[in-house]
């Protein structure tokens, strides 16, 4: 798996740390930004990444990129196939999708 990193931030942070752009280019990180005055642009992804950090990374260290990749892949698979969501009638996303095609 090839990793493509993206760093997302708001405009205030960009203006405050103007040299951040140079660092992102140096480390092959794509920089994205929400539209001015629209905090909902990436709310869903921000929420998901917050859960990933809390449930997968908090208090842990990884020996290498392979271990990190496995943890992330396992977590995404868990979220899609096993983790139930109340807004999906208590089903996982995969179960809900299969049910909707019946």
pLDDT digit string, tens, across residues 6-30: 445 544 444 445 555 566 666 665 6
pLDDT for the residue 25: 60
Write a three-state SS string for the chain. CCCCEEEEECHHHHHHCCCHHHHHHHCCEEEEECCCCCCCCCHHHHHHHHHHHHHHHCCCCCCCHHHHHHHHHHHHHHHHHCCCEHHHCCECHHHHHHHHCC
How confident is the model over 57-91, as pLDDT tens digits? 888 888 888 888 888 899 999 999 999 999 999 99
Asked if residue 101 has pLDDT above 80, the reply is yes
């Amino acid at each position: 798996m090839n990793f493509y990193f993206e760093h997302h931030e708001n405009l205030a942070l960009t203006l405050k740390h103007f040299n951040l752009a140079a660092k992102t280019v140096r480390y092959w990180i794509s920089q994205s930004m929400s539209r001015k005055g629209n905090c909902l642009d990436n709310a869903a992804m921000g929420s998901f990444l917050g859960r990933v950090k809390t449930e997968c990374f908090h208090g842990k260290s990884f020996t290498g990129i392979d271990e990190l990749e496995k943890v992330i892949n396992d977590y995404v698979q868990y979220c899609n196939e096993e983790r139930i969501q109340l807004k999906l009638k208590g089903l996982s996303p995969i179960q809900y999708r299969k049910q909707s095609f019946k």
